[in-house]
Amino acid sequence: MKISVVGAGNVGATTAQRLAERELAQEVVLVDVVDGLPQGKALDMYESAPVLGFDTQLTGSNGYDETAGSDIAVITAGLARKPGMSRDDLLAKNSAIVGGVVESLVAQSPDIILIVVSNPLDIMCSVALAKSGLPSNKVIGMAGVLDTARYRSFIALELGVSVRDIQAMVLGGHGDSMVPLVRYTTVSGIPLAQLVSQERINAIVERTRKGGIEIVNYLKTGSAYYAPSAAAAEMVESIVRDQHRLLPCAAHLSGQFGIDGIYMGVPCVLGKDGLERIIEPELSDEESAALHVSADAVKETLAKLEL
């Protein structure tokens, strides 16, 4: 197994480190345009191997020749948000960056599976699909795993319980219109509504939707990377180990939930072939309406690009 990570900034480098430490591949290649950056970070990570006890080889590169034969690539390349910026503000510049990255990766590894992390996430997935020529099951976006992790974290903080006992899922676009499925949220099987007032649930949902910008506002010169890299690694692990995990990921919809032609967060089963199938839980009228509002927001942004 060989995995490439494109972008050696905070998200990409931390993702590469997590993949190596979990030994999810024999080799991880870290790619970036900045001379010396991926080489230095890859060497630094590998020098931690004797301490942490992993045997994954790490290579840094400024080109794509070293990525040849990759089974999976995680794309984190692109500009990060700064205070006052929305994910949509990154649209034009990141679409050009991601498009070029995808073409270079596929030229070296025609059967690769792409996991897109770059923002605006749902749109960058469509860019990757268009530029790669790959089937849609091999182009998947990391968003819902991150959004759900934030949602679960906030619930754990509210209740003072372990995050491991919270089952939840956030669907929709990776933005302010995302849809936490409160009705399906449980704490060791107990519905959230039996444990938390509706007022506090609404506050948790709103904080989840603003989770990314909350961190951007704290950092001021960058955006989140610990949680995004953990979410990307979880998706990679399900594919590499053929775990068939049911995870909320950005998938290309072709009629599911009454939505067609866009990427959006939905329940996905991930295995060795990438996206194996999409699960459609029964939604209430209110949940379905919220999901379609989110889809309309994605479509509006996607329309700004000519793909």
> For position 151, which CATH number holds?
3.90.110.10
Average pLDDT in the 44-71 region? 98
pLDDT at position 85: 67
Decide if 193 is inside a domain. yes
Looking at the fold, whether 177 and 284 belong to one and the same domain comes out as: yes
pLDDT at position 104: 98
Average pLDDT in the 38-56 region? 98
Looking at the fold, whether 115 and 173 belong to one and the same domain comes out as: no
pLDDT at position 83: 74
Query: Which of 79, 112, 141 lies at the terminal end of a domain, its last residue?
Result: 141
Looking at the fold, whether 128 and 166 belong to one and the same domain comes out as: no
Query: Which of 141, 169, 184 lies at the terminal end of a domain, its last residue?
Result: 141
Q: Assign 92 a pLDDT band (cuts: 50, 70, 90).
A: confident
pLDDT at position 79: 83
For residue 305, the one-letter residue type is L
Looking at the fold, whether 215 and 132 belong to one and the same domain comes out as: no
Q: Assign 291 a pLDDT band (cuts: 50, 70, 90).
A: very high
For 145-183, what is each residue's pLDDT tens digit? 999 999 999 999 999 999 999 999 999 999 889 999 999
Looking at the fold, whether 107 and 220 belong to one and the same domain comes out as: no
Q: Assign 214 a pLDDT band (cuts: 50, 70, 90).
A: very high
Looking at the fold, whether 136 and 9 belong to one and the same domain comes out as: yes
Mean pLDDT (the chain) is: 96
| pTM of the full structure | 0.95
Q: How far apart are CA 158 and CA 28, in angstroms?
A: 38
Whether 89 shows a pLDDT value over 90: the answer reads no
pLDDT at position 81: 66
Average pLDDT in the 36-46 region? 98
Domain range for 272: 144-302
What backbone torsions phi and psi does residue 160 show, to the nearest 5 degrees? 70, 40
Give yes or no for a contact between 147 and 266, defined as CB atoms under 8 angstroms apart: no
Considering only 91-95, 136-140, 145-149, which range has the smallest mean pLDDT?
91-95
Looking at the fold, whether 75 and 191 belong to one and the same domain comes out as: no
Decide if 34 is inside a domain. yes
- Give 78 or 186, the one with higher predicted confidence: 186
Whether 88 shows a pLDDT value over 80: the answer reads no
CATH number at residue 102: 3.40.50.720
Q: Assign 84 a pLDDT band (cuts: 50, 70, 90).
A: confident
Query: Which of 119, 141, 163 lies at the terminal end of a domain, its last residue?
Result: 141
Looking at the fold, whether 129 and 246 belong to one and the same domain comes out as: no
Decide if 234 is inside a domain. yes
| E strands present in 106-239 | 113-116, 139-141, 166-167, 170-171, 179-180, 186-187, 190-191
Looking at the fold, whether 167 and 85 belong to one and the same domain comes out as: no
Give yes or no for a contact between 52 and 46, defined as CB atoms under 8 angstroms apart: no
Decide if 124 is inside a domain. yes
Decide if 131 is inside a domain. yes
Average pLDDT in the 211-216 region? 94
* Catalytic positions: 174
Domain count, the chain: 2
Looking at the fold, whether 175 and 267 belong to one and the same domain comes out as: yes
| E strands present in 117-273 | 139-141, 166-167, 170-171, 179-180, 186-187, 190-191, 245-254, 260-271
Whether 87 shows a pLDDT value over 70: the answer reads no
Decide if 307 is inside a domain. no
Decide if 98 is inside a domain. yes
pLDDT at position 221: 87
Looking at the fold, whether 104 and 170 belong to one and the same domain comes out as: no
Greatest mean pLDDT among 50-59, 87-96, 212-221: 50-59
DSSP state letter for 193:
G
Average pLDDT in the 194-199 region? 98
Looking at the fold, whether 28 and 161 belong to one and the same domain comes out as: no
